[in-house]
Structures are given as structure tokens and as C-alpha cells.
Structure 1
Amino acid sequence: MSQKFDELKQKLKSVDTKKAGQLLKEVKQAHEDGKIDDNEKKELMSEAKKTVGDNLLG
């Protein structure tokens, strides 16, 4: 696992719904920049969607 992946995963743990969109952009950019691989991107995107869903449900 890359350092960037770990950094983004930590951010996900404390993200709120308002910041989730920005975090998703960071994940996509990190992937485009080669800082995270496809599997890391998929895991982060899945976790982000789950986190946002949980926050919306209360």
C-alpha cells in the first residue's frame, strides 16, 4: 500500500458529506498522478461511497 493510499484512507475516516466530493476528486487525481494503483482507487472509492451513505442515513 502506498503512503498516499494510507493518507486518503485516514481522511475518509473523518470526512463529512460536504467534504466527500473533494475527497473523491483527490482520489481520482492521486490515481491519475500514479500515486495509487487501480485496486487502491477502487477500495477508496467504495469506502467513500459507503461513508457518505452512512452519513446520509444518520
Structure 2
Amino acid sequence: MKFQILPDGHAIKYFEEILTLSSSNDKSIDGSNKEPFVCLRSVLPSRHFSSEKADYRGPPVVL
């Protein structure tokens, strides 16, 4: 997840979260390893952001 915390406490305009929902230990019916299921979400907050109000100073926080 990548996001930036603004001085007013809101996160940056969007964040992307990638979740791996299966592990390498999971096996499919035929015994082969399943491909990891990856969920990609982009979340756009509603009213907190406009190009005039957003403050992007500082490096992003990478978790």
C-alpha cells in the first residue's frame, strides 16, 4: 500500500492495495500450486480532495 498523510490528517488522493489471498502452500485439485489470487483496489476519497486543496509535500509512505 502506498499513501501519503497530509497535514490535515487525510491520506493522499488514492491508494492501491494489493492483497495476495492464497499462499504457495495452497494446492489445486490436481495437486499443482495455485497461482496467487491478487486483488487490486484503487480508492478515490469523495469530498476531501481537490487539486487546489491537496497538499503533496513530503515523500510517500510505503508500507
- Superposition TM-score, scaled by structure 1 size: 0.23
**Whose helix fraction is larger, Structure 1's or Structure 2's?**
1
